[in-house]
Amino acid sequence: MHSSTEPAVRFVEVVKTFGGADQCHRVLDQVSFSIPKGMTTVIAGGSGQGKSVILKLVLGLLRPDAGSILVGGQDVPKLGYKALQQVRMRFGVLFQGAALFDSLTVFENIALPLRERTRLDEGGIREKVEQTLDQLELGGHGQKYPAQLSGGMKKRVGLARALQLEPEIVLYDEPTTGLDPVMTREIYDLFARTQQRLGYTAIIVSHDIPQVFELADQIILLNRGELDVFGRVEEIAYSRKPFIREFAEKTMGLPTPGRI
Ligand SMILES: Nc1ncnc2c1ncn2[C@@H]1O[C@H](COP(=O)(O)OP(=O)(O)OP(=O)(O)O)[C@@H](O)[C@H]1O
Ligand SMILES: [Mg+2]
């Protein structure tokens, strides 16, 4: 049994390197953090700092060199194929570009996980997909193909598909790439409303700073293998680390204390 205060995901002293002994690149250097249940955690940091690597480790698509990655108390890198498949069923994933199937309609794209992973009959599938289409303001677009949709609509279809199996945890990797600022804001508003209604744990990797911080209950900043966790945006400006104070000034326009 796990208590409700147990985090959705926990990293304990995780090390991840790439390359051989001669050119070893340590992307994560003994990082530890917890992702609390039912909340939104934003992971930020410069390009190539390991944000996507963290998501891939969570899903067991990459293996760490050391440390534990706990999902619901299970250590993901230690799981066999079947148990790993079970753990993956808990996740909804929305990667960059939404990755829709161009030859399938919106309806069929959203129905896909239900057809592959459940025994719902055609009537049950129709009911569930229509309901999600309405929830994500896509009603009436079910018979369109991805090429006929705007960028924001594609992202919404991607989210609709990610939510079909009622995931406990939703992972977003750069979910607003290619959208204009207005659409970006609309998508984040929709994410916030959907997360509040369904109560899942959200992990968002994003460059949309500071907008995305408005959604965050927790912020993780990654830099050169190190990781810092903040409960509130304002705390970022009070960090002792020069790199983080600089980040706060440059990307968020926050005045850092001591320089006023
Ligand atoms: N499969 C891999 N093989 C070798 N190196 C990899 C692999 N995956 C990631 N890396 C390296 O790990 C580092 C972190 O990559 P990652 O994709 O997590 O960056 P990121 O923070 O998501 O960057 P971006 O914001 O550009 O998406 C990079 O230096 C990358 O080259
Ligand atoms: Mg990435």
Q: What is the pLDDT of residues 83-139, one digit of tens each?
A: 999 999 999 998 876 688 999 999 999 999 999 889 999 999 999 999 999 988 899
**Facing residues of 203 across strands?**
41, 171
47 pocket-lining for ligand 1 (C-beta < 6 Å): yes
Please identify, by atom number, the ligand 1 atom nearest to the C-alpha of residue 19.
Answer: 4
Of the ligands numbered here, which is closest to the C-alpha atom of 56? 1
Predicted pLDDT of residue 257: 65
Residue 260 has pLDDT above 80, yes or no: no
Q: Which residue among 11, 29, 42, 53 is best mutated to probe the pocket of ligand 1, counting the most ligand atoms within 8 A of its Cβ? A: 53
Amino acid code (one letter) for 62: L
57 lines ligand 1 (CB under 6 A): no
Helix 181-198 with 151-163: angle, nearest 10 deg: 20
Query: Which pLDDT does position 236 carry in this prediction?
Result: 85
Q: How confident is the model at residue 24 (pLDDT cuts 50, 70, 90)?
A: confident
Report yes or no: 192 and 18 within 8 Å, Cβ to Cβ.
Answer: no
Question: Cβ(105) to ligand 1 under 6 A?
Answer: no
Residue 57 CB burial class (10 angstroms; 0-12, 13-18, ≥19) = buried
- pLDDT single digits (tens) 38-78: 999 999 988 899 999 999 999 999 999 999 999 998 999 99
Going from the Cα of 2 to the center of ligand 2, the distance in angstroms, rounded, reads: 31
- The count of other CB atoms within 10 Å of the CB of residue 95 is 17
Burial of 45: CB neighbours in 10 Å, binned 0-12, 13-18, 19+: buried
Predicted confidence (pLDDT) per residue in 168-209, tens digit: 999 999 888 888 888 888 888 888 988 998 899 999 998 888
- Residues paired with 43 in a beta bridge: 205, 220
User: pTM higher than 0.95, yes or no?
Assistant: no
- 27 Cβ neighbours under 8 A, 6+ residues apart: 16, 17, 18, 49, 50, 53, 225
Q: Is the peptide bond before 257 cis (omega within 30 degrees of 0)?
A: no
- Res 180: pLDDT: 86
**Both tokens assigned to 122:** 């055609």
49, 63, 203, 212, best to mutate for ligand 1 pocket (most atoms within 8 Å of CB): 49
Integer Cα distance of 201 and 216 in angstroms: 11
How does DSSP classify residue 225? T
50 lines ligand 1 (CB under 6 A): yes
Distance separating alpha carbons of residues 178 and 73, to the nearest angstrom: 36
Quick check: 234 pLDDT over 90?
A: no
If you take atom 8 of ligand 1, which residue's CA is the nearest one? 53
CA distance 199 to 212: 18
CA of 53 to the centre of ligand 1 (A): 6
Ligand 2 geometric centre to CA of 36 (Å):
22
CB of 43 closer than 6 A to ligand 1?
no
C-alpha 251 – ligand 2 centre gap (Å): 18
Q: Which residues contact 54 (CB under 8 A, 6 or more apart)?
A: 11, 28, 43, 205, 222
Pocket test for ligand 1, best of 11, 43, 51 (most atoms within 8 A of CB): 51
Q: Which ligand is nearest to the CA of 95?
A: 2
Which residues fall inside 5 Å of ion ligand 2, going by CB? Answer: 51-52
